[in-house]
């Protein structure tokens, strides 16, 4: 394994794509064989990243939460296949049968039938029990236990379940029983904690021409939604996590979590047909375990999880039969290096150097995805009759529209056009076609919204197409 070549290639990729920094650690046969940082943790101040710099690991947090559940199962305080209602009697889902049947296992492997519904928690990040109470108003998009649909709210439920069983916050429990137990001392459970400890990388976005700093997405150990993605760490600490998983629950000869339950987390629970590229012939099988993706990569079992949050991407992966694994952390939003490095370093551990090949694969995939999004928008605009006025006087659209989980949207008139207020969001409504408008949202861009009228032509509600897996949109009822 040519580690000098590896370092050279990462430097080349950073320079080519303008990525601020990458921190990479590799472990093999219980030894750290590579742990280096490249680039700048803060571009403006020319602060170089080091192996001690801390990054957000985002959804790589989910594996820690699943491991916390595994420890509670190991101790007899939870059971994988007992229902959530046995631990939280008031718990309800949209479908009564799902409410009665949903198990601990179900919530950790993304098969409850719900799509992401991320706007619900994104606009209400500090809710705990209130968020769980909203689940009964969230429409599923697939039948129960039939399809893997990756989402965050079920991991919020897992965080809440830990609190109900242990009497402590999910973050406190994971810290005391997992991260501290395996020597991960430089690991925080929220943004403020991490910044308070210092040496946190600055998050950036990259438009292909220049990088621009972003605000940190604020997370807290007390918030249950942050059980889906709030940990901050570095590769020095994360390699201890990789080794702990390779050792099947042992740390320095001490069993922290029983290996039967650890291996349950590493065992396929659901076939994955929705998450990875279909143009990667090296991948023979894709699945999800409990907090981990699991695939057959050229015949080798690969266990991994990525993470994406404002200005950061992350990847943690290991190959059990090779007793090897890696972690990399990047301070760039939706970085293309996440996919390139994930596959290239996996192959590197298997004795192959194909960085250029993987770069070509994912550059092409990015181009295809960009074209698909543009084509989708263009098709919506085709024949939109934008020159035809909205059929009703603008005053007829003004009012408050409500959904029991998604909250309230206020529509008003401003400068002879319609504008909206939606929780912390403000913006314009751009006419598209008849009663259809675009809600102009930060990050998400133009989201189609259709006002609904009754038989008398009076506006009685709207459908907001903010959850792509719900074809008819989320229905809001006009209250005033």
Token pair for residue 460? 């009685």
Report the pLDDT averaged over residues 409-434: 94
Per-residue pLDDT reduced to its tens digit, 207-236: 888 999 999 999 999 999 999 999 999 999
Instruction: Supply the pLDDT for residue 384.
Output: 55
455 and 321 co-located in one domain: no
367 pLDDT above the threshold of 80: yes
Answer yes or no: is 237 within a domain.
yes
- In DSSP terms, which residues pair with 464 in a beta bridge? 449, 474
131 and 68 co-located in one domain: yes
Instruction: Supply the pLDDT for residue 32.
Output: 98
How far is Cα 224 from Cα 169, in angstroms, rounded to an integer? 8
Per-residue pLDDT reduced to its tens digit, 249-259: 999 999 999 99
245 and 355 co-located in one domain: yes
Answer yes or no: is 383 within a domain.
no
Per-residue pLDDT reduced to its tens digit, 295-335: 999 999 999 999 999 999 999 999 999 999 999 999 999 99
219 and 347 co-located in one domain: yes
- Give residue 357's domain range: 3-368
Instruction: Supply the pLDDT for residue 307.
Output: 98
362 and 293 co-located in one domain: yes
| CATH number of the structural domain spanning residue 408 | 2.40.128.50
How far is Cα 407 from Cα 412, in angstroms, rounded to an integer? 17
Q: Which residue has the higher pLDDT, 465 or 442?
A: 465
93 and 137 co-located in one domain: yes
Instruction: Supply the pLDDT for residue 325.
Output: 98
Measuring CA to CA, which residue among 241, 248, 243 is closest to residue 263?
A: 248
**pLDDT grade for 381, boundaries at 50, 70 and 90:** low
101 and 243 co-located in one domain: yes
**pLDDT grade for 26, boundaries at 50, 70 and 90:** very high
> How many domains is the chain partitioned into structurally?
2
| Residue 28, CA distances (Å) to 32, 320, 350, 353 in order | 7, 10, 11, 17
Backbone angles phi, psi at 433, to 5 degrees: -165, 115
Answer yes or no: is 464 within a domain.
yes
462 pLDDT above the threshold of 90: yes
Sign of CA dihedral 103, 109, 111, 116: positive
Answer yes or no: is 386 within a domain.
no
How far is Cα 264 from Cα 460, in angstroms, rounded to an integer? 49
Answer yes or no: is 351 within a domain.
yes
283 and 143 co-located in one domain: yes
DSSP 139: P
User: Of 368, 384, 409, which residue sits at a domain end?
Assistant: 368
89 and 151 co-located in one domain: yes
**pLDDT grade for 444, boundaries at 50, 70 and 90:** confident
Report the pLDDT averaged over residues 92-105: 98
Per-residue pLDDT reduced to its tens digit, 37-86: 999 999 999 999 999 999 999 999 999 999 999 999 999 999 999 999 99
279 and 135 co-located in one domain: yes
77 and 9 co-located in one domain: yes
176 and 91 co-located in one domain: yes
Answer yes or no: is 297 within a domain.
yes
193 pLDDT above the threshold of 60: yes
Report the pLDDT averaged over residues 157-167: 98
- Counting Cα atoms < 13 Å in the Cβ hemisphere of 249 gives 18
Nearest 5°: the CA angle 404, 405, 409 is 75
Answer yes or no: is 172 within a domain.
yes
Answer yes or no: is 388 within a domain.
no
| CATH number of the structural domain spanning residue 114 | 3.40.710.10
380 pLDDT above the threshold of 60: no
């Amino acid at each position: 394994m040519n580690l000098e070549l590896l370092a050279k290639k990462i430097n080349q990729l950073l320079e080519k794509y303008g990525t601020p920094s990458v921190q990479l650690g590799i472990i093999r046969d219980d030894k750290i064989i590579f742990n280096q940082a490249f680039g700048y943790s803060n571009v403006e101040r020319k602060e170089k990243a080091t192996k001690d710099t801390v990054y957000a690991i985002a959804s790589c947090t989910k594996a820690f939460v699943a491991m916390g559940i595994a420890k509670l199962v190991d101790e007899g305080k939870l059971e994988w296949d007992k229902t959530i209602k046995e631990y939280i009697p008031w718990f309800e889902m949209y479908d009564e049968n799902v409410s009665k049947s949903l198990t601990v296992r179900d919530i950790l492997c993304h098969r409850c039938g719900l799509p992401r519904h991320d706007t619900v928690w994104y606009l209400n990040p500090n809710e705990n029990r209130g968020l769980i109470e909203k689940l009964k108003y969230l429409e599923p998009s697939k039948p129960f236990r039939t399809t893997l649909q990756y989402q965050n709210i079920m991991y919020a439920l897992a965080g809440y379940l830990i609190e109900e069983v242990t009497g402590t916050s999910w973050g406190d429990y994971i810290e005391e029983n997992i991260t501290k137990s395996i020597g991960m001392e430089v690991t925080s459970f929220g943004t403020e904690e991490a910044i308070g400890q210092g040496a946190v990388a600055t998050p950036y976005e990259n438009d292909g021409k220049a990088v621009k700093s972003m605000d940190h997405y604020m997370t807290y150990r007390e918030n249950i939604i942050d059980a889906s993605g709030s940990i901050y760490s570095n590769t020095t600490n994360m390699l201890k996590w990789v080794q702990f998983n390779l050792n099947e629950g042992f740390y320095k000869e001490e069993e922290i979590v029983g290996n039967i339950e650890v291996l349950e987390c590493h065992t396929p629970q659901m076939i994955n047909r929705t998450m990875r590229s279909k143009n990667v012939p090296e991948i023979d099988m894709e699945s999800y375990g409990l907090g981990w993706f699991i695939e057959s990569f050229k015949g080798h079992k690969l266990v991994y999880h990525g993470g994406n949050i404002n200005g950061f991407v992350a990847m943690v992966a290991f190959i059990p039969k090779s007793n090897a694994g890696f972690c990399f952390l990047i301070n760039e939003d939706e970085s293309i290096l996440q996919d390139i490095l994930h596959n290239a370093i996996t192959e590197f551990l298997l004795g192959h150097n194909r960085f250029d090949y993987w770069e070509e694969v994912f550059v092409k995939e990015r181009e295809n995805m960009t074209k698909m999004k543009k084509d989708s928008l263009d098709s919506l605009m085709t024949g939109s009759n934008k020159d035809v006025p909205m059929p009703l006087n603008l005053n007829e659209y003004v009012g408050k529209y409500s959904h029991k989980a998604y909250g309230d949207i206020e529509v008003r008139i401003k400068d002879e056009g319609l504008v909206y207020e939606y929780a912390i969001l403000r913006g314009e409504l751009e006419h598209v076609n008849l009663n259809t408008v675009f809600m102009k949202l930060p990050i998400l861009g133009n989201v189609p919204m259709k006002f609904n009228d009754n038989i008398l032509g009076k506006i009685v509600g709207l459908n907001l197409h903010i959850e792509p897996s719900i074809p008819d949109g989320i229905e809001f009822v006009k209250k005033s």
